[in-house]
Amino acid sequence: MSFGLLDSTLTRRGYVYTDFDEIWGERRTLEAWFEVEATLAEVQATLGIIPKEAARAIRANARVSDQFVDAVSQGGVGNPLIVGLDNIRKTIPPEHRGWVHYGATSQDILDTARALQIRESLDLMESHLIALRDTCERLAHEHAETVMVARTNGQQALPTTLGLRISRWKASLDRDLRRLQLCRDEALSVQFSGAAGTYASNGEDGPRIAEGLADQLDLTFRLLPWHADRDSITMLCCVVTILGQNLAKIAEDLFDMQRNEIGEAFEAMDAHLSGSSAMPQKRNPFAMMKTSVAARLAAGATATLLTQPPGAHERDHRQLEVERDVLPRTLVLVGGALEKLNGLFTRLTFNAAHLRRNAELDGPLILTENILMQMAPHIGHDRAHHVLQDFAAEYREKGTTLAAFVSRSPELSDALASVDLDRLSQPDSYTGLSAHLARQGEQD
């Protein structure tokens, strides 16, 4: 029986993409286990710890078939690696079976194999992140001078440009990329220190085996055991979750921009796939909604990791089981959100006319800061502030233009004779450095 969005065949394709599905599926997990086991045997053979013939036999037979996946999945034991080892030993000549998993403990293999899966996930995630960032950079330049209204606390605030908004998206993705790269070394670490982290089963050869494993698998060597010290994995989940939140920010902005009454963005979509069963006219922005949902689910999963009790003593299966669920779930959810947003931008267009229309919706009221700054040198800041409050009230009630309002007061007319009131009432007169910032972006 399937449970939840990621497990049910009815819903999982909305969140789980094929590449991530394969990385964290049963077959790839078994392949990672056996890659570590085979590499371990080869390193031990190189060091003269086990026969080279045994290492060759283990490598030759550490293969995963459909029958093997079925056999392991039906094992029915608490430690699935034991079932995997039992099945691989059956395929190896009897004289070499005793060298499989020699001097290792299950968690050493599981942690090291998981590092291989994490690396695949991060490689894929970073490539998609770079693609999305590059798209945002292109759009920021393209729309550097496309005027729109900035909104604060859900209300119209001041004019800005679409390019600046998109440049901020791009800057957040740059920060995400740097964070992912910073946590790579620690997250991609070998674990090989034995059952209690003392290297007792391999003695002085233990660190050399661990270092050889790291070298052959291109992972980070850490001398001290980290069975119960999961801060590196927790940090990775936090970094990936922050990426998810930044993707959700983009999705939420676009969600609002696509609202019928706003109409600033438009996603080409198949009404038969995105519509309502009761309302034929509906085109629901599912890509944006699912991106936001994925970020929320990832945050919830990581919160579980952060709030569970620390691992007890030298190793704690309770802690590890929670991580076993949270880590792939977080990577799969955010990886899926990345793919979904990349696909969305290939179908997305921005409506410059509607962006301009919304910037002019409240007339000159979104420009009162600009008008205040122009009036203040002539009549003083406090007086200008009071005058504009009165003007705003009259504009809302009667639609009086700023020029008409000022003309009724000879004192104001004389004081502001040199000020172009009509120009001050145009949104593109007060976008500040928006166009420059959109083109320049965040400087490293």
Residue pLDDT, tens place only, 185-231? 999 999 999 999 999 999 999 999 999 999 999 999 999 999 999 99
CATH superfamily of 106-189+226-359: Fumarase/aspartase (Central domain) (1.20.200.10)
Give the per-residue pLDDT at 216. 98
- What are the pLDDT digits (tens) for 281-329? 677 888 899 999 999 999 999 999 999 999 999 999 899 999 999 999 9
Strands 155-161 and 147-152: antiparallel
Distance of CA 129 to the CA centre of its chain: 8
In whole angstroms, give the CA distance from residue 261 to residue 354: 10
Coil, strand, or helix at residue 180?
helix
How much is the pLDDT for 78? Answer: 62
pLDDT above 90 covers a percentage of the chain that reads 74
Mean pLDDT of 325-342: 97
DSSP per-residue letters across 13-58: GGT--HHHHHHTSHHHHHHHHHHHHHHHHHHHHHTTSS-HHHHHHH
Per-chain mean pLDDT for the chain: 92
Would you state the structure tokens that stand for residue 272, as one six-digit string?
A: 């038969």
Question: Could you give the C-alpha distances from 138 to 66, 291, 415, in angstroms and in order?
Answer: 45, 22, 45
Query: Please, what CATH class does the domain formed by 362-440 belong to?
Result: mainly alpha
Backbone angles phi, psi at 81, to 5 degrees: -65, -35
How far is the C-alpha of 72 from the C-alpha of 334, rounded, in Å? 29
- The pTM score is 0.93
pLDDT interval class at 15 (50, 70, 90): confident
- Please give the pLDDT value at position 14: 83
pLDDT band with cut points at 50, 70 and 90 for residue 80: confident
User: Hey, which residues does 149 pair with through a beta bridge?
Assistant: 159
Question: Which long-range contacts does 307-314 make (Cβ < 8 Å, 24+ apart)?
Answer: 310/228, 311/227, 311/228, 311/229, 311/230, 312/228, 313/228, 314/196, 314/197, 314/225, 314/227, 314/228
What pLDDT sits at residue 276? 66
The pLDDT tens digits of the residues spanning 28-66 come to: 999 999 999 999 999 999 999 999 999 999 999 988 888
Identity (one letter) of the amino acid at 322? V
pLDDT in tens, 248-257: 999 999 999 9
CATH 1.10.275.10 fits 13-104, yes or no: yes
- Residues 68-72 have a mean pLDDT of 78
Residue 380, pLDDT > 90, answer yes
pLDDT at 274: 62
CA atoms within a 13 Å half-sphere pointing along the CA-CB vector of 193: 17
pLDDT on residue 423: 85
The model's confidence at residue 442, banded by pLDDT at 50, 70 and 90, is confident
Instruction: Band the pLDDT of 132: cuts 50, 70, 90.
Output: very high
Say whether pLDDT at 405 is over 70. Answer: yes
Distance between CA atoms of residues 183 and 188, nearest Å: 9
Q: What is the structure's pLDDT at 347?
A: 92
H/E element, 9: none
Domain ranges of the chain: 13-104, 106-189+226-359, 362-440
Output 371 or 220, whichever has higher pLDDT.
Answer: 220
Is residue 361 within 8 Å of 156, Cβ to Cβ? yes
- Alpha-carbon separation of residue 55 from 33, 48, 98 (angstroms): 15, 11, 11
What pLDDT shows up at residue 356? Answer: 96
pLDDT of residue 101: 96
Q: What percent of the chain has pLDDT over 70?
A: 96
